[in-house]
Amino acid sequence: MPSINAENNPDDPGSSLSDEATESDDGALETSARPSSRSRRQRTPRRRRRRWIIGGSIAIVVVALAAAGGWVAYQALQAQSSLEAAQTSVTEVQTSLTSLDVATLQKSAAAFAADAHDASVHTNDPLYRMAEMLPIVGKNLTAVRELSGSLDQLGSQALMPVADFSANVTPAALRPVNGKLNTDLLTAGDTALANADATIVAQQSTVAAINTSGTVGQIGAAQKQFVSALAKAHTEITSVRSMVATVKNVLGMNGPRHYVLAFLNNAETTALGGGPASLTMITVDNGAISITAQGSSQDFPTNDGAVRPVDQNLINIYGTGINSTLNWSTARPDFPTAGQTIAAWWQKYKGTSVDGVIAIDPIALSYLLGATGPMTLASGEQITADNAVALLLHDIYLRYPESQIESQTDIFFADAAKTIFTGLTTTTADPAALLAAINKGIDSGNILAWSPVDDEEKLLGNSPLKGVLPTDNAKSTVIGTYFRDVSVSKTDFYLDTSTDLTTNVCQNSTAPTFTATVTLHSTLTDAEAAALPPFVSGAKFKGAKFSTEIFVYGPVGASVVSTAAGDTSVDHSVYGNSEDLGRPVAHFGVDLAPGETNTVTVTFSGASGTYGPPVMKVTPMINAPAQTMTAPGCG
């Protein structure tokens, strides 16, 4: 059978794909499966094109995933950096809240809020959120996002409102206006703290509930650290709010409060500066401050017995006058003792309960007048920073006949107290300068305060305002030198004093020694002494000499080794040694004629223990005491 050739038909759509037909040995037709060369040429580019499209698409996906992964990694790293920065700021916030450091609080709160918000923004990126669905890594990303969100809320809803409020706490805002303190500021501050605390408590619970199982260790550790930090912040804010509540009571926001203001007379020296020359009752009612009563020394008799019981040891050291003579109520270097006694005097003879006692002397008044400027007394004369000390502690006693000095000076002191008090509560002086003057008076021991309410007394902390000696030597090793006039005179205007301390405490803490040499010098001349009225020179010695007691308090736990007087030709007494406030006390008496000088010396031996750097304390005198120290190794 002849072979049949199938001719390609260009019009046949399948002709280009036809196989070549051949006749087999048995005559059957066979078709080859091998494509034609033309067909092969046509199909190869198409296959290559399909492979390129698929491969390219996969490559694009791989690159996109890599880019997305890199972007998510970038966001995570940025969030981590912000969270670490926020963690540092938390510590600063805690410290500033505790210390009430407004400037640091504002700075650290703003830094925390910015860092926390930045972390929240990074972890809320859309690709970041999508990546949370990935196995393993997703749990870590979710935990970091939730942690960042809580901290963002903490920054914006808690810390920043408190920081913003703190910007309003300025010296100007704290200054009385027309005799009234800004109680609205205190209320607003308490509200800000309460709202912040609510946010802190809520976010502490939220952070604690974040599921960190299956996450890397750093995330779980960060969670625990922030929970702990939030708990501490809650504790600190609770403490501050408790202080605010106490201040509200002090300012009479929960009912009127009554405080005795004692004006001390440094011309008749006692340990804390001087005996009270006059007492004034200050009433504070919802921030409004007013004088409601006054009393002179004549209102408090000296022969009517003790106004309150005290430990027999105090009587042994200071005599019965410690609790039966108003002028000696400040004889012990411990203002809580003086405050209780002054309050007892007022309550016994004036009948009003006392919520606290504040003491101030003319030296502190001179600081305040430096800030406020001169004030005009009822007499028409001005009292200024330059003349306050001399006017109140010397000149006034020379104005009147002997028979009128006591009564006229009482009137003068009462007027001066009222004028200065009114001036301070209505002044428009620079508040920063006024605050600096108050702080100067506190630091120098010329302004003191005491409260019978424990929470209010705690507000004073370790401030010099409290008027106490440390109960141990850990932070500082205090040696105190204190004086008391026993001439019944007003002549300490003419007394110069100095103390020299030598100690090896910084080289030998197992058996340190402390030697204090105290020098007293009368600057009076015989002519000046003869011209003084008896009320000033003292009826006891009639100007022939002036008697001063010296009490040297050694370090806590020490003992007196030796005592001596320098010039035995000058009248003196070594009364002996005792113990008070956990300290050894060396007690001397020196009688100086006009122009005379004498010294007394005491050496203390300390027990083995921890000693801070040596510090010298002394009675606030009209003429500032000179102090020198030799302490090898103390730096």
Give the pLDDT confidence score for residue 268 in this predicted structure: 96
* Residues 221-250, mean pLDDT to the nearest whole number: 89
Give the pLDDT confidence score for residue 146 in this predicted structure: 86
pTM over 0.75: yes
pLDDT greater at residue 26 or residue 45 = 45
Instruction: Give φ, ψ of 359 to 5 degrees.
Output: -115, 140
583-592 and 626-630 beta bridge pairing: unpaired
356-360 and 257-265 beta bridge pairing: parallel
* Residues 415-440, mean pLDDT to the nearest whole number: 91
pLDDT greater at residue 3 or residue 583 = 583
Query: What's the angle, vertex CA 533, arms to CA 530 and CA 534, rounded to 5?
Result: 95
Residue 215 pLDDT grade (very low, low, confident, very high; cuts 50, 70, 90): confident
Residue 22 has pLDDT above 60, yes or no: no
- Cβ within 8 Å of residue 253, ≥6 positions away: 183, 186, 286, 287
Helix axes 137-154, 37-99, angle to 10 degrees: 40
Report the distance separating Cα 314 and Cα 485, nearest Å: 17
pLDDT greater at residue 245 or residue 93 = 245
Residue 493 has pLDDT above 90, yes or no: yes
Tens of pLDDT, residue by residue over 145-198, are 888 888 888 888 888 888 888 888 888 888 888 899 999 999 999 999 999 999
pLDDT greater at residue 488 or residue 630 = 630
Query: Residue 540 carries which DSSP code?
Result: T
Lowest mean pLDDT among 67-81, 288-302, 362-376: 67-81
Q: What is the separation, in whole angstroms, between the first and last Cα of the chain?
A: 129
* Residues 544-567, mean pLDDT to the nearest whole number: 95
Are the CB atoms for 548 and 495 separated by under 8 Å?
Answer: yes
Q: What percent of the chain has pLDDT over 70?
A: 86
Give the pLDDT confidence score for residue 55 in this predicted structure: 37
* Residues 405-411, mean pLDDT to the nearest whole number: 90
Token couple for 287? 């921030």
Are the CB atoms for 503 and 631 separated by under 8 Å?
Answer: yes
Residue 74 pLDDT grade (very low, low, confident, very high; cuts 50, 70, 90): low
Helices (H) and strands (E) in the chain, counts: 17, 19
Average pLDDT, the chain: 86
Give the pLDDT confidence score for residue 46 in this predicted structure: 53
Residue 26 has pLDDT above 80, yes or no: no
Report the distance separating Cα 252 and Cα 266, nearest Å: 31
Token couple for 329? 């109520």
What is the greatest pairwise CA distance in the chain? 171
Token couple for 345? 């005097």
Report the distance separating Cα 260 and Cα 359, nearest Å: 8
Residue 290 pLDDT grade (very low, low, confident, very high; cuts 50, 70, 90): very high
Residue 72 has pLDDT above 70, yes or no: no
Give the pLDDT confidence score for residue 70 in this predicted structure: 66
Give the pLDDT confidence score for residue 76 in this predicted structure: 65
Token couple for 573? 């007494």
Query: Residue 159 carries which DSSP code?
Result: I
3-state secondary structure of 126: helix
Give the pLDDT confidence score for residue 2 in this predicted structure: 37
Exposure pattern of 270-280 as b/e (b: 16+ CB <10 Å)? bbbbbbbbbbb
Query: Residue 606 carries which DSSP code?
Result: P
- In DSSP terms, which residues pair with 515 in a beta bridge? 502, 603
Report the distance separating Cα 339 and Cα 307, nearest Å: 12
- In DSSP terms, which residues pair with 300 in a beta bridge? none
Containing H/E element for 142?
Answer: helix 137-154
Token couple for 190? 């308490």
Residue 58 has pLDDT above 60, yes or no: no
pLDDT greater at residue 182 or residue 126 = 182
Tens of pLDDT, residue by residue over 513-551, are 999 999 999 999 999 999 999 999 987 788 899 999 999
Give the pLDDT confidence score for residue 71 in this predicted structure: 62
Among residues 201, 209, 269, 279, the alpha carbon closest in space to that of 235 is found at: 201
Report the distance separating Cα 472 and Cα 581, nearest Å: 10
pLDDT greater at residue 597 or residue 34 = 597
- Cβ within 8 Å of residue 88, ≥6 positions away: none
* Residues 372-385, mean pLDDT to the nearest whole number: 94
Give the pLDDT confidence score for residue 111 in this predicted structure: 85
3-state secondary structure of 53: helix
Residue 410 has pLDDT above 80, yes or no: yes
Give the pLDDT confidence score for residue 18 in this predicted structure: 39
Give the pLDDT confidence score for residue 54 in this predicted structure: 37
Residue 97 pLDDT grade (very low, low, confident, very high; cuts 50, 70, 90): low
Give me the domains of the chain, ranges plus CATH numbers: 1-34 (no CATH), 48-250 (no CATH), 257-457 (3.40.630), 469-630 (no CATH)
Tens of pLDDT, residue by residue over 329-376, are 999 999 999 999 999 999 999 999 999 999 999 999 999 999 999 999
Residue 1 has pLDDT above 50, yes or no: no
3-state secondary structure of 47: helix
330, burial (CB in 10 Å: exposed 0-12, middle 13-18, buried 19+): buried
Instruction: Give φ, ψ of 393 to 5 degrees.
Output: -115, 0
Q: What percent of the chain has pLDDT over 90?
A: 58
Across 237-348, the runs of DSSP E, i.e. the strands, are: 257-265, 275-285, 288-296
